[in-house]
């Protein structure tokens, strides 16, 4: 059995950046359920934040981040991220990322929601693509070994430390144990819990579920960001950069309705504010066929072609609309999980030997609402830091062979799925879960809606263990993978509902129609969720406040 020094689960930006931070004399490997450059990071559009401008400062960036997250973010972690951002961006540039430029040849920065300064660096509207491909080139250069198209089914923990993973080899079939002195989770988000989502179909919250099942607490799971502008009926993201470039939001009366909700920031208020405003317009009958309109026409052909080429292409291909000539119908959709595996600023989790970074982790910098451009930044800053700390952790540590208890349990779990006589298929339950969650835990939530969701999610969780497989082969069995992903989706959905029901206030992305006010006296606190045989157990942890007292 292979035992690596550092094994990274996930080949998105966080995973790749972590791998590059491991010194060359250590043995590092990455494992990914898809080819590395198909990770969801590749789809990021609008950009990555750093206070590069002469008039900007990391402190201003930190303030916007703390305030945008409605003071639920840990300010020590926010300070680290914002202070280290400029150097990380310059490092990315040296590695070969081609950022868009100003006329003076500097890295161009566009305004984004909730930011007091234009500080989002970008490569047109394909920033994630530019970043991920450059980091992949560096991985190849470093000859980091990659288990490509391997699906991790469990973490192996022995004697209170993480010693590796159990994983299914998709290409050849077969379950294996891969040992490691340290494991870094960099498995990305869980947006596919919801029906309307900007996320790739692979974003099923596996890493959060792996940690959760291993007894590691998740934090702030009730905070799911709904992006205000996703393309009608598809959920495809229309970047905030479109509003950053000057796009307007209009209702059926042709009004720029943001005037009523955020007269100063207008379309560039924080995402939770804009999503709620759109939801309200639609609810009160001023929508257009379940959507509102994003109007870019006044930007002119040249600017759209230069700065938003992908948005135009997506609108043409998936809605038959050319934004140069017509407004784009948009609606809010699930976009980002602010919560995740509880980790500190070095990626350390409650389980020795287990680290987490990127969207699957909750460090927590985003608090109750993430600012656009801060997530790509988080993957780079905290991916690097997790790589550094994991390397320190394994230095001088003797390799230990993981036990095969977990392997046997997973082998039995897969055998049970193959033997199941259940009537339902994984995709059917996945669709149902998405509808339940989008309807009951979307931008508006109430006690009743969440209680309904909890009942349904618990039922789906039971059913997910007995779905019927039609493919019983070994090679590239996506039927089996979907069934396993479904188990992650339902486990994580349950933590979102549990956290949401308990939190009787509104803050950022968590809007309770029955508790519309923010309540700092009781709820300025992190939710921790731990797995027990009876279901999720909640506990609370204070928020770290350093220089920005809640206002
Ligand atoms: C459409 C879209 C646009 C966005 N635009 C922006 C933007 O402009 N700016 C910004 O800051 N943020 C943006 N975001 C958010 C940001 O892109 C993500 O939060 C970030 O890229 C996540 O990176 P990651 O490395 O954590 O995970 P990902 O890039 O999602 O990678 C996850 C990796 O984990 C692997 N994996 C998962 N489960 C398993 C398993 N069980 N076994 C093996 N491997 C597994 C996957 O194969 C993949 O390699 C956007 C998100 C979306 C969906």
| Tokens matching residue 3 | 């035992």
Q: Is the dihedral of CA 318, 323, 327, 332 positive or negative?
A: positive
Residue 295 has pLDDT above 90, yes or no: yes
Mutate to test the pocket of ligand 1, among 8, 10, 100, 166 (most ligand atoms within 8 A of CB): 10
**Region 30-49: what's the mean pLDDT?**
97
Tell me what pLDDT residue 367 has. 98
CA–centroid distance, 379 to ligand 1, in Å, is 9
Count of H helices and E strands in the chain?
16, 19
Q: Sort 14 into a burial class: Cβ within 10 Å, 0-12 / 13-18 / 19+.
A: buried
Instruction: Give 1 or 335, the one with higher predicted confidence.
Output: 335
Q: In whole angstroms, what is the distance from residue 228 CA to residue 287 CA? A: 13
* pLDDT tens for each residue of 489-520: 999 999 999 999 999 999 999 999 999 999 99
**Region 351-377: what's the mean pLDDT?**
97
Q: Are strands 525-532 and 109-110 parallel, antiparallel or unpaired?
A: unpaired
Kindly state if the Cβ of 47 falls inside 6 Å of ligand 1: yes
The contacts of residue 517 (CB under 8 Å, 6+ apart) are 505, 506
Tell me what pLDDT residue 1 has. 84
Kindly state if the Cβ of 38 falls inside 6 Å of ligand 1: no
Q: In whole angstroms, what is the distance from residue 347 CA to residue 344 CA? A: 5
Q: How many residues does the chain have?
A: 551
Query: Within 465-526, where are the H helices?
Result: 478-502, 520-523
CA–centroid distance, 445 to ligand 1, in Å, is 26
Q: Are strands 218-219 and 224-231 parallel, antiparallel or unpaired?
A: unpaired
Tell me what pLDDT residue 275 has. 95
Q: Would the annotation count 376 as a binding residue?
A: yes
Q: In whole angstroms, what is the distance from residue 316 CA to residue 384 CA? A: 38
What are the chain's domains? 230-332 (3.90.700.10), 405-517+525-531 (1.20.58.100)
Residue 113 has pLDDT above 90, yes or no: no
pLDDT bucket at 114, cuts 50 / 70 / 90 = confident
Residue 217 has pLDDT above 90, yes or no: yes
**Region 445-458: what's the mean pLDDT?**
98
Question: Is 78 in contact with 365 (CB distance < 8 Å)?
Answer: yes
Q: Would the annotation count 176 as a binding residue?
A: no
pLDDT bucket at 305, cuts 50 / 70 / 90 = very high
Kindly state if the Cβ of 179 falls inside 6 Å of ligand 1: no
**Region 1-24: what's the mean pLDDT?**
97
**Region 355-381: what's the mean pLDDT?**
97
Kindly state if the Cβ of 495 falls inside 6 Å of ligand 1: no
Q: Would the annotation count 366 as a binding residue?
A: no
pLDDT bucket at 169, cuts 50 / 70 / 90 = very high
pTM for the predicted model, two decimal places: 0.97
Tell me what pLDDT residue 85 has. 98
pLDDT bucket at 459, cuts 50 / 70 / 90 = very high
The contacts of residue 426 (CB under 8 Å, 6+ apart) are 464, 467, 479, 482, 483, 485, 486
CA–centroid distance, 255 to ligand 1, in Å, is 35
Mutate to test the pocket of ligand 1, among 30, 36, 48, 128 (most ligand atoms within 8 A of CB): 128
Q: In whole angstroms, what is the distance from residue 116 CA to residue 210 CA? A: 38
Kindly state if the Cβ of 19 falls inside 6 Å of ligand 1: no
For tokens 């291993």, the residue is 214
Residue 458 has pLDDT above 90, yes or no: yes
Residue 116 has pLDDT above 90, yes or no: no
CA–centroid distance, 377 to ligand 1, in Å, is 12
**The one catalytic residue among 17, 192, 243, 271:** 271
| Tokens matching residue 364 | 């927590």
Kindly state if the Cβ of 168 falls inside 6 Å of ligand 1: no
Tell me what pLDDT residue 259 has. 97
Nearest Cα residue to 432 out of 400, 397, 407, 464: 464
Q: Would the annotation count 470 as a binding residue?
A: no
* pLDDT tens for each residue of 412-442: 999 999 999 999 999 999 999 999 999 999 9
| Tokens matching residue 539 | 């506990």
Clarify whether 547 is annotated catalytic: no
Chain CA centroid to CA 338, Å: 7
Residue 34: DSSP 8-state: S
* Nearest Cα residue to atom 20 of ligand 1: 41
Nearest Cα residue to 374 out of 1, 98, 63: 63
When computed from its CA atoms, the radius of gyration of the chain, rounded to whole angstroms, is 22
Kindly state if the Cβ of 225 falls inside 6 Å of ligand 1: no
Tell me what pLDDT residue 221 has. 98
**Region 165-181: what's the mean pLDDT?**
97
CA–centroid distance, 13 to ligand 1, in Å, is 7
% of the chain surpassing 90 pLDDT = 96
On average, the pLDDT of the chain sits at: 96
Q: Would the annotation count 397 as a binding residue?
A: no
The contacts of residue 444 (CB under 8 Å, 6+ apart) are 279, 511, 513
CA–centroid distance, 368 to ligand 1, in Å, is 19
**DSSP output for 369-383:** SPPTTHHHHHHHHHH
Kindly state if the Cβ of 452 falls inside 6 Å of ligand 1: no
The contacts of residue 432 (CB under 8 Å, 6+ apart) are 456, 460
**Region 394-401: what's the mean pLDDT?**
95
Q: In whole angstroms, what is the distance from residue 133 CA to residue 98 CA? A: 11
Q: In whole angstroms, what is the distance from residue 319 CA to residue 312 CA? A: 10
**DSSP output for 517-536:** S--HHHH-EEEEEEEETTEE
End-to-end CA distance of the chain: 55
CA atoms within 13 A on the CB side of 378: 33
């Amino acid at each position: 059995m292979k035992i690596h020094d550092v094994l990274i689960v996930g080949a998105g930006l966080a995973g790749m950046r972590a791998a590059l931070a491991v010194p060359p004399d250590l043995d590092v490997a990455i494992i990914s359920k898809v080819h590395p450059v198909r990770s969801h990071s590749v789809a990021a559009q609008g950009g990555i934040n750093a206070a590069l401008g002469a008039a900007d400062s990391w402190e201003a960036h930190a303030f916007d981040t703390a305030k945008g997250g409605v003071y639920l973010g840990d300010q020590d972690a926010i300070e680290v991220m914002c202070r280290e951002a400029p150097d990380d961006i310059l490092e990315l540039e040296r590695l070969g990322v081609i950022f868009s430029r100003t006329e003076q040849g500097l890295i161009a920065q566009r305004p984004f929601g909730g930011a007091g300064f234009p500080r989002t660096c970008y490569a047109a509207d394909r920033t994630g693509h530019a970043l991920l491909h450059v980091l992949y080139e560096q991985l190849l250069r470093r000859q980091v070994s990659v288990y490509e198209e391997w699906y991790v089914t469990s973490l192996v923990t022995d004697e209170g430390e993480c010693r590796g993973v159990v994983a299914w080899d998709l290409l050849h079939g077969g379950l294996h144990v891969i040992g490691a002195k340290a494991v870094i989770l960099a498995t990305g988000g869980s947006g596919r819990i919801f029906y309307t989502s900007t996320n790739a179909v692979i974003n099923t919250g596996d890493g959060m579920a792996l940690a959760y099942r291993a007894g590691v607490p998740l934090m702030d799971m009730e905070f799911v960001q709904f992006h205000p502008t996703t393309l009608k009926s598809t959920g495809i993201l229309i970047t905030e950069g479109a509003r950053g470039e000057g796009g307007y939001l209009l209702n059926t009366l042709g009004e720029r309705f943001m005037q009523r909700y955020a007269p100063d920031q207008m379309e560039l208020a924080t995402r939770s504010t804009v999503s709620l405003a759109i939801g309200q317009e639609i609810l009160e009958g001023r929508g257009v066929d379940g959507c509102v309109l994003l109007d870019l026409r006044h930007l002119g052909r040249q600017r759209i072609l230069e700065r938003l080429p992908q948005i135009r292409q997506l609108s043409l291909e998936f809605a038959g609309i050319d934004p140069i000539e017509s407004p784009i119908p948009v609606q809010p959709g699930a976009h980002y999980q602010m919560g995740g595996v509880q980790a500190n600023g070095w990626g350390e989790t409650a389980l020795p030997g287990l680290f987490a970074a990127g969207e699957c982790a909750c460090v927590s910098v985003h608090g109750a609402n993430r600012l656009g451009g801060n997530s790509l930044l988080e993957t780079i800053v905290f991916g690097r830091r997790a790589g550094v700390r994991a390397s320190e952790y394994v230095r001088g540590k003797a390799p230990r062979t993981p036990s095969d208890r977990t392997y046997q349990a997973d082998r039995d779990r897969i055998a049970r799925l193959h033997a199941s006589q259940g009537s339902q298929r994984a995709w059917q339950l996945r669709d149902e879960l998405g509808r339940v969650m989008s309807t009951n835990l979307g931008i508006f939530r109430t006690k009743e809606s969440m209680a309904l969701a909890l009942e349904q999610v618990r039922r789906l969780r039971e059913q997910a263990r007995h779905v019927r497989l039609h493919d019983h082969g070994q090679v590239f069995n996506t039927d089996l993978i979907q069934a396993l992903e479904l188990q992650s989706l339902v486990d994580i959905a349950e933590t979102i509902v549990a956290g949401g029901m308990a939190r009787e206030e509104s803050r950022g992305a968590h809007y309770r129609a029955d508790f519309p006010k923010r309540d700092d006296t009781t709820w300025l606190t992190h939710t921790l969720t731990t797995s027990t045989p009876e279901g999720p157990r909640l506990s609370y942890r204070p928020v770290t406040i350093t220089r920005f007292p809640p206002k």
